[in-house]
Amino acid sequence: MMKMIHRSVMLGMVLACVFLSTGLQAAEYAVVIHASNSYSDSPDTMKQVVKQLYLKQRSEWPNNIAVKPFGRPADDVAHQAFLRQVLQMSEVELASHWISVKQKTGQAAPREIGRDSLLLKLIAKYEGALAVVAMEAAQSDNIRILFTFDD
Amino acid sequence: MNNAVLRIIQPVLPRRPGNAVAWCLVLLICGWTPGALAQQPADGSTGTVRKERERLKKELQLERQRIQGHLPESAEASMPVKESKEGSESTAATLHEEIEMLRSMLERSLELFERLEARVDSLESGSAPQQTPAQEQSDRLDELEEQVADIEDRVGSRAIAKAFDAESLDIGGFLTQSFSTAIGDDSSEASFNQTQFELLLRSQINKNWSFFAALGFLREADLDFSDPNNPNFRNFANRVPQILAWANYRHSDAFQLQFGRFVNPKGIINIEHFPPVLLETNQPQFLRPFSGASLFPNFVSGFQIHGKAFVGSTGANSLDYNIYTGAFNGGDADDFVAGGRLAFTDSSSGMSVGVNYEYGRREAALSAPGHFSIVGPRSLTTNTYNVVGADLLIDKGRLLWKNEAYFSFENGQDDRVAAYTQPGFRLNDQWIAFYRFDYFDPGQGLTDSVEHVVGLNYLPTPTIRIRGAYFFKNFENPRTDSSIVQLSATFSF
């Protein structure tokens, strides 16, 4: 009897863990590009290339398409996840980077687009476009998911 | 983490009758949750994920049917068997309680499965919850109105500036104000000696061509150390220099051409050049006076080939090169330079190593010592020279350490030597402390100078840099010291 009760209690804890696990599930984001951009590589390389393209250290994709990166507002959760997981920089480091780039080449940070719908339209418009969106928003025939990441 | 959860709960899981139920729950915990199922990477594994999802769904349905098949209609249905074996009413009551408890537990499990199934279904269909077309239209209209309001807020009825013939035009700049106190053995002076406003313009002419210019509007009272014991500020001078103006043709990242007036691509600080990114507005001695050529010209008018190659297994490291030629002062046909730079950056360690070379010819011209400088903007000798140098930058985490060293072989004249090391430490996102040891032998029969600088930068935001620095200078001939305290602030936009 006691053994049965013990197991019941533990099963209850397991069920609680199930709810906890689903409730705390990490959010997922996607780096999206134009559907016609066929660039692909190993996950680590793609992440590195996207970082360099976004920071304007590279001006073209490895398949020679001129890049057009789009950013998100600083308080956007997708942008913050992108900072942590792909750029691996703090907001201050990123701001310092753009000040340095501006002085050396006159280039500025990618234009910030707040709305997913507008962002997806712009991604679909430019062959070299690049942006990050929440996974559930990455639904369009004209875009391709380059890779996804959790935060 | 999920494997750890699995190890913890494995011993306590019931073996029957809900064995598969429990294992399904374990699988859910260990990353096979509906959310996780919907988050598999969009690469070649998508088919496998779908199969797993289908398999799990079928398993859940089978288990549900199995449980429902085994579940007694009521507690009484199972009691007579027990009673006949035990022959005791109290035992029957206990068993009754147990069965009721099990029944309740299984019912709760079934409810959970139903909820999970519903969630899997909604995630698979990608419509949780479904919006009506009217709601969707209304949401999109709200979104558009917000966008229009945002644009109106930024532009309103104002005219929009645009380039005559270019795809884009960006304008920015910065303002630096300095206050300096110079302390000599015999006398001291203080002044708000520099107000520097510089305008930066960039235009993308077309896909391959771009243009960049930096125009200075400077009001400066140069600090003169001709007599180290009696430093003094000269009268204010209004200067409007063309600091940079170049056009760039990009064939690829690896091959680009640049024409016009550009920063001499040497070392670290000369390339960084602008105050918004400098820990101290006064660059190392060999780069003073501004726009001079104490060791090599700060700027070159001519053209350069430059580019960058990405190397390493993931392309994270880079190799940069510059090859250039031009003139320091176009008024003298013999005032000619040519050189190059090669630099390797290792992104994982934050380390960059560069080697530099320049061949040039100096043309003697009279000039007074410049601002904060022991030499003037022009050489006192006419000769050819070969400069070689190396630089090392470590920019990782809190450490920001810059080092450069040069030796100039002066043909028929005194050789010139320069070196500095500048370790900086980021105390946090807003405060940076640094020290610089700076040695310069300018040749030309002039005295050597050693300068120690200790400073602190405060950045309330990344676009505002407020600095305080203390300079301690040792002069070789006459052997004497002097000090400068300088406060400056740079606001960039």
pLDDT confidence tier of residue B243, bands split at 50, 70 and 90: very high
Q: Of the ranges A135-144, B60-69, B334-343, B462-471, which one carries the lowest mean pLDDT score?
A: B60-69
**Averaged pLDDT, B111-130:** 69
Rounded to the nearest 10 degrees, the angle between the axes of helix B2-9 and helix A2-23 is 170
According to the model, what pLDDT value does residue A116 have? 87
Q: Return the CATH number at A31.
A: 3.40.190.10
- Per-residue pLDDT at B47: 53
pLDDT at B76: 45
**pLDDT value, residue B147:** 80
State how far residue A106 is from chain B, nearest Cα, in angstroms: 5
Tell me which chain B residue has its CA closest to the CA of residue A29.
Answer: B39
Decide if B253 and A60 are in contact by the 8 Å CB cutoff.
yes
Identify the domain containing residue A33 by its residue range: 26-150
- Say yes or no to pLDDT of B493 above 80: yes
Task: Give B350: exposed, middle or buried? Use CB within 10 Å, 0-12, 13-18, 19+.
Answer: middle
In a domain, A8, yes or no: no
pLDDT at B160: 79
pLDDT, mean of residues B69-81: 48
Q: Is residue A21 part of a domain?
A: no
Helix (H) / strand (E) containing A57 = none
**Closest Cβ–Cβ partner in A60, A66, A102 for B172:** A102
Of B117-126, B209-218, B346-355, B367-376, where does mean pLDDT reach its minimum?
A: B117-126
CB-count burial class (<10 Å; 0-12, 13-18, 19+) for B62? exposed
- A142 at the B interface (CB within 8 A)? no
For residue B22, list chain A residues with Cβ-Cβ distance below 8 A.
11, 14
pLDDT bracket for residue B331 (50, 70, 90): low
Single-letter amino acid code for the residue at B264: N
**Residue B45 pLDDT > 50, yes or no?**
no
Lowest mean pLDDT among A68-72, A75-79, B375-379: B375-379
What pLDDT sits at residue B261? 95
Average pLDDT, chain B: 82
- The sign of the CA dihedral A97, A98, A99, A105 is positive
Checking if the pLDDT of B69 tops 90, the result is: no
Residue with tokens 């001129």: A66
> Quick one: pLDDT at residue B31?
45
pLDDT tens digits, B130-169: 667 888 888 888 878 888 888 888 777 788 788 888 888 9
Residue carrying the six token digits 């917000």: B146
Residue B33 pLDDT exceeds 70: no
Put simply, whether A16 touches B (Cβ < 8 Å) is no
Which has the higher per-residue pLDDT, B159 or B442?
A: B442
| Range B365-376 average pLDDT | 77
Q: Closest by alpha carbon to B377, among B335, B324, B419, B323?
A: B335
Residue B434 confidence (pLDDT) above 50: yes
Are A18 and B112 an interchain contact pair (Cβ–Cβ within 8 Å)?
yes
| Residue B6 pLDDT | 46
* CA–CA–CA angle B446, B451, B452 (5° rounding): 170
Q: Out of A14, A43, A106, whose CB is closest to B9?
A: A14
Strands (E), B113-254: 168-183, 188-204, 209-220, 223-224, 232-233, 237-239, 242-252
Q: Give the separation between CA B425 and CA B403, rounded to whole angstroms.
A: 14
Least confident of B29-38, B114-123, B142-151: B29-38
**Which of B28, B32, B37, B318 is best to mutate for the A interface (most A CBs within 10 A)?**
B28
Least confident of B144-153, B217-226, B480-489: B144-153
Q: What is the mean pLDDT of residues B262-266?
A: 96
Q: Pick the more confident residue, B52 or B455.
A: B455
Residues B165-202 have pLDDT tens digits of 888 899 999 999 999 999 988 888 999 999 999 999 99
Q: For chain A, what is the domain count?
A: 1
CB proximity A22 to B under 8 Å = yes
Looking at residue B112, its pLDDT comes to 78
Does any domain span residue A9? Answer: no
Which chain A residue shows the shortest CA-CA distance from B8?
A14
Among B3-12, B409-418, B466-475, B478-487, the minimum mean pLDDT is found in: B3-12
Answer whether residue A115 is part of any domain.
Answer: yes
What is the domain partition of chain B in residue ranges? 2-78+92-129, 161-492
Closest residue of chain A to B493, computed from CA coordinates: A99
pTM reported for the whole predicted model: 0.73
Residue B15's pLDDT band, with cuts at 50, 70 and 90, is very low
For the residues B108-120, what does the mean pLDDT come to?
A: 78
Closest-CA distance of chain A to residue B272, Å: 7
- Give the one of B14, B210, B276 whose C-beta lies nearest to A11's C-beta: B14
Whose tokens are 């780096």? That residue is A31
**With contacts defined as CB-CB under 8 Å, which chain A residues touch B175?**
none
Residue B390 DSSP code? E
Residue of B nearest to A44 (CA): B314
**Looking at B49-58, B180-189, B334-343, B437-446, which range is the least confident one?**
B49-58
Give the model's pLDDT for residue A56. Answer: 95
B80 has a pLDDT exceeding 50: no
Region of A51 please: left (phi>0), alpha (psi -120 to 50) or beta. alpha
ipTM above 0.90, yes or no: no
Taken as a whole, chain A contains a residue count of: 151
Q: How far apart are CA A98 and CA A90, in angstroms?
A: 13
Judged against a pLDDT cut of 50, whether residue B96 lies above it is answered with yes
Higher pLDDT among residues B332 and A31, named by residue: A31
Name the CATH topology of B161-492.
Porin (2.40.160)
Nearest CA in chain B to A15: B25
Average pLDDT over residues B127-132: 61
**pLDDT of B424 higher than 60:** yes
How many CB pairs lie under 8 A apart between chains A and B? 139
Strands B242-252 and B237-239, how do they pair? unpaired
Is there a contact between B315 and A10 if contact means CB atoms under 8 Å apart?
no
Is residue A91 one of the residues assigned to a domain? yes
Is the pLDDT at B43 greater than 60? The verdict is no
pLDDT > 70: what percent of chain B? 80
pLDDT at B301: 93
The answer to whether A112 faces chain B, any CB pair under 8 Å, is no
**Predicted pLDDT of residue B378:** 81
Residue B38 confidence (pLDDT) above 60: no
Higher pLDDT, B74 or A38: A38
* CA of B8 vs chain A CAs: smallest distance (Å): 10
- Cβ-Cβ contacts under 8 Å, B101 against chain A: 4-5, 8
Question: What is the CB neighbour count within 10 angstroms for residue B376?
Answer: 20
pLDDT tens figures, B266-324: 999 999 989 999 999 999 999 988 878 899 999 999 999 999 999 988 889 999 999 99
The shortest C-alpha distance from A85 to chain B (Å) reads 15
Closest Cα to residue A99, out of B162, B246, B490, B433?
Answer: B490
Cβ atoms of B471 and B452 closer than 8 Å:
yes
Chain B's closest residue to A32, CA to CA, is B42
Q: Is residue A48 part of a domain?
A: yes
* B408-419 average pLDDT score: 96
